[in-house]
Amino acid sequence: MSLLLARLRATMHESYRFIVLVGNVPYGAFTEASLPVVEFEMEEVKEGGLNTYPHKLPGRRKAATVSLKNGIGGLLLLKWYISNMTEDFERKNVTIVLKTGFIFPTMTWHVEDAFPSKWAGPQLKSGENSVAIQTLDFTCGDITIVPSPLLL
């Protein structure tokens, strides 16, 4: 694993601070990650005799999605997406690590039972001097957020 991570660090620019690991194997580095909104459905309960407000009780957690943009080294993620479309569907555990430069993890998100649900290719325009950006979305299972021990 350390050899793969060292190779990834050697080929990526410092602005790529989100490292994505699938099953503890580094799959890519990204400049932007839209992390999931963890939100609960709320059930409204009206109590007889209480006319000023209804009670709100938490229900199930809403489905969450992680979106990764401008990836380099994301070929393994794309292969996983394509194999889910054409072969056996496979959910995996995904870890997203926000790094300060290349050294210290600032925050870590562990996503269980994730699967790639959408890939958007780059908009290629020959007349513009812009970076080709691809987007990969994951549908999430259980999400655990772990702050760095340096922040505690």
User: What's the CATH number where 90 sits?
Assistant: 2.30.110.20
Q: Taking all residues of the chain, what is their mean pLDDT, rounded to a whole number?
A: 79
| Contact of 138 with 66, CB cutoff 8 Å | yes
48 assigned to some structural domain: no
pLDDT of residue 16 exceeding 60, the answer is no
Q: What is the pLDDT of residue 25?
A: 86
pLDDT in tens, 32-70: 888 877 888 999 988 888 888 898 999 888 888 888 887
Q: What is the pLDDT of residue 89?
A: 85
Among 145, 133, 34, 37, smallest CA distance to 95 is for: 145
56 assigned to some structural domain: no
58 assigned to some structural domain: no
| Contact of 106 with 100, CB cutoff 8 Å | yes
51 assigned to some structural domain: no
Q: What is the pTM of this model?
A: 0.71
Which of 2-11, 103-112, 116-125 shows the highest mean pLDDT? 103-112
Whole-number percent of the chain with pLDDT over 70: 79
DSSP state of 63: P
Count up the domains in the chain and report the number. Answer: 1
**Please, what's the b/e burial string for 67-103 (b: 16 or more CB within 10 A of its CB; e: otherwise)?**
bbbbbebbeebbebbeebeeeeeeebebbbbbbeebe
Q: What is the pLDDT of residue 2?
A: 60
CA distance 117 to 110: 18
Q: Residues with Cβ < 8 Å from 97, sequence gap 6 or more?
A: 18, 19, 20, 21, 105, 107, 108
CA distance 65 to 36: 5
55 assigned to some structural domain: no
54 assigned to some structural domain: no
pLDDT in tens, 17-26: 788 888 888 8
State in Å, rounded, how far the first CA of the chain is from the last one. Answer: 27
Q: What is the pLDDT of residue 27?
A: 83
pLDDT of residue 135 exceeding 90, the answer is no
Domain around 94: 2-37+63-147
Q: What is the pLDDT of residue 42?
A: 92
Q: What is the pLDDT of residue 144?
A: 87
90 assigned to some structural domain: yes
